[in-house]
Amino acid sequence: PRGTGLGLWVVKRIAESVGGSVLLQNTEQGGARVTIELPRLSLADLEGRTVLVVEDEPALRRVLCRELESFGALTRQASGGDEALALLETGGVDLLVTDVNMPCGGGGDLVRRSRRDLPTVMISGVSGAETEYADLQRPGLAFLLKPFEPEDLGLALSYVQWEVGHATGRRRRE
């Protein structure tokens, strides 16, 4: 039986929501060719960007910073939300990585109190944290479940940075 085309419409909407496109062409043999183009995210999008890493566990904070620096990012560190807010007030932070659960000011409170246009990745060892913090949902905010690969963090940061630029019409500075 013939479809309604609703599935293709959904695919088109998803592609467009992330800055992509869908092209539909008839073929000579009958049928159709569908081409989906999506923006390419790259770890190079972190080159020269300053990332504030907020993690209460010093060893993990150092590992996160080392990995981000290997992608060309500059890093600043904080052990909790209050310290992070003080660093954010001084300016010069392009991206934020914060643990969700910390004894000295949790990541949720930090995100609520920081700039809404600050690209942010919240990391958690608890599955479903994004549901608990549903009130924080906005362009430029993503959740990443521990454990993760360094590339996952880099791509998540590239994505939230792109998403904020796309939502506000701003593009990455060169």
Q: What is the pLDDT of residue 8?
A: 83
pLDDT at 171 over 60: no
Euclidean distance between CA atoms 3 and 166, whole angstroms: 33
Q: Global pTM?
A: 0.74
The pLDDT tens digits for 97-150 are 999 888 766 788 898 888 889 999 999 888 877 777 777 888 899 999 988 888
Euclidean distance between CA atoms 149 and 154, whole angstroms: 9
User: What mean pLDDT do residues 44-60 have?
Assistant: 90
Q: Given pLDDT bands bounded at 50, 70 and 90, which one contains residue 161? A: confident
Q: What is the pLDDT of residue 172?
A: 45
